[in-house]
Amino acid sequence: MLEELKEEEIVKKVGGRFKLSTLIQKRMVQLNQGSRALVNVDTHDKMSIVLQEIMQDKIMLNMDNQVISLEEMAAESEGPDLESMDL
């Protein structure tokens, strides 16, 4: 479980140790408040769930240091639909 934290890959993936600790802490709060896990793992250990979500690119911090899921990122990047008549 915590072996992932010893590897530089997860630190680089998130953008530094401070961001990693912030992401873990904020996601743990979400899980403790009832958010569903975004990965399928055979454990109830929330730390393992969070680490797998990070390693599988399911979550990250946005510009406001809030946890955002892959689905939310995709929705934000789409923007409003423009019809050809609007151009």
pLDDT in tens, 16-45: 999 999 999 999 999 999 999 999 999 999
**Alpha-helical regions (H) of the chain:** 3-6, 8-14, 17-32, 46-55, 70-78
Name which residue leads in pLDDT, 74 or 29. Answer: 29
Our CA angle for 33, 38, 36, nearest 5°, is: 25
For the stretch 57-72, pLDDT in tens is 999 999 899 999 987 7
Residue pair 32/46 in contact by the 8 Å Cβ criterion: yes
Angstrom CA distances, 8 to 11, 16, 52, stand at 5, 9, 15
Q: If we measure between CA atoms, which residue out of 58, 21, 22, 19 comes closest to residue 38?
A: 58
